[in-house]
Each structure stands twice: as structure tokens, then as C-alpha cells.
Amino acid sequence: MANPIEQFKIKPIVDLHMGNVDISFTNSAVMMVISVVLITAFLTLSVRSRALVPGRWQSVAEVFYEFIAGMLRDNVGSQGRKYFPFIFTLFMFVLFGNVLGMIPGSFTYTSHVIVTFAMAAVVFIGVTIIGFARHGTHFLRMFFPHGAPLATALILIPIEVISYFSRPFSLAVRLFANMTVGHIILKVMGGFVVSLGGFYLLPGLVPFAFLGGITVLEFGIALLQAYVFTILSCIYLHDAIHMH
């Protein structure tokens, strides 16, 4: 029986080396290129007609647009509008990575912590720069809540600083762990179906029905995690712009 974590193995497709650095074109990179091409094709082709009364494809694209625009409006306010392209790109990239990874035999690039951490680090550094650019050194006020007695500063400031710097890690590990664990569960359940159904047909149906339920749940998790990753980025952006 194959190892359940073998599906996350990165295999080079085109071997490329720059000095001692391995920059091979891998199966992970192939899936990223596929998802970016799909997103671009879907968004450009569906809004090509620019109809006032949207057709079927155009209304799907408008649902995505409205969803993220509404999320920014509710969580960041009108000042967040200029960050819409970034948030929308982040959402579509994570969403397509999660959903394309559910295709059997494909590769889930969001199940690698380096990919999710790169995105979380961009969000964290960008949000910190926005905060300092808008408020200057007054941004450091964020580490001390308004109205708290001055005597508590000794305890509160280290806690706030630690919680601020743990943001990129929790953002990255949440997405990575959800996708990795979900795919491992699918593989383990699939192993149960094969090993039980190979001997007796009827008992094999029990894990098969369970596998069906888990697959539906994993599709839900794929959508939900893309949503959570985006909305937490929005909340961090709100903190930087409005300082609580």
C-alpha cells in the first residue's frame, strides 16, 4: 500500500539548475501555472461581452467579484477599496489551488507550508508597511489597548507583540494543515475501501459511503479555507488602517 503522504511529493518535471540552486520546474509549479491560466481565462472570457444584463458565465464572475468587494466593504470600509486587486488575487489563487487539488491524481500546492507561508508573509509585511505609512510611529500604539491602566503595560505589551508576530504563522499553518490533513484522511479512507472491499463487497460499502461524505466535507473545507484566509487578511488590513 502506498504511503498516504506520498501524494505531497514534489517531483521535478524540467530539471533546471542555477549554480548550486535547484530551480527545477516541478509538478507544484505546473499546478500553479494551470490555476493562474484558468483564473485568467475564466475572468477575461466571461466578462468579454460586457452585457448590462449578464449572461450565465458573466454572472458567475460577478458573484466572485461581488463576494470579495462586499467582504472588503464590510471588514475594511471604503478605504480598503484600493487593496481590492490584491485581496481578489489572493482569494482566487488559494481557492483554485484548493479546488483543483481535489481532482484525483492532481497536486495541491496549498498543502505545502512554504507556499502558504510565502503568501502569509506577503500579507503580514504588506499590512505592517501600510500601518506604518498611514500612522507613522503612532502605529506602535496598537500594542497597547486604549483605556488599559498603565500598570498593566508590562504584561500587555509582550502579549500583544507576540500575538502580532504569530499572525503569519497561524495564517500559513491553518491553510497548510487543513489541506494536508484532509488529503491524508481521503487517502487513508480510500485504503480502507480497497482493503475491505477486496475481500467482501458489502463491508466495503461502509467505508465507501464514509469516503463519499468526507469528500463532500473536503470540498466545503476547500472553499471555507480560501474564505478564511482572505477574511483574516481583510481583518489584519482593517487593524492597520483603523487601529482597532
Contact residues toward another protein (CB under 8 A) are 5, 170, 173-174, 177-178, 180-181, 184, 224-225, 227-228, 231
Min CB(33)–another protein separation in Å: 28
Least separation in angstroms between residue 27's CB and another protein is 20
Provide the minimum distance between the beta carbon of 165 and another protein in the complex, in angstroms, as a whole number.
17
CB of 189 to another protein, least distance (A): 15
- As a whole number of angstroms, the distance between CA 36 and CA 89 comes to 10
Q: Which is nearer to another protein, 3 or 137 (CB)?
A: 3
Cβ nearer to another protein, comparing 108 with 225: 225
In terms of phi and psi (left: phi > 0; alpha: psi -120 to 50; beta: otherwise), the region of 11 is beta
Q: How far is the CB of 2 from another protein (least distance, A)?
A: 14
Distance CA 231, CA 123 (A): 12
3-state secondary structure of 154: helix
The three cell numbers locating residue 42? 475564466
Q: Is 22 or 74 the residue whose CB approaches another protein more closely?
A: 74
Check if the beta carbon of residue 223 is closer than 8 Å to that of residue 95.
Answer: yes
For residues 15 and 66, which CB has a smaller minimum distance to another protein in the complex? Answer: 66
The H or E element spanning position 207 is helix 201-242
CB of 225 to another protein, least distance (A): 7
Residue corresponding to grid cell 500598570:
151
DSSP β-ladder status, 12-14 and 25-26: antiparallel
Q: Where are the beta strands (DSSP E) in the chain?
A: 12-14, 17-18, 21-22, 25-26
CA dihedral over 159, 165, 170, 173, signed as positive or negative? negative
170 or 195: CB nearest another protein:
170
Residue closer to another protein by CB (options 8, 208) is: 8
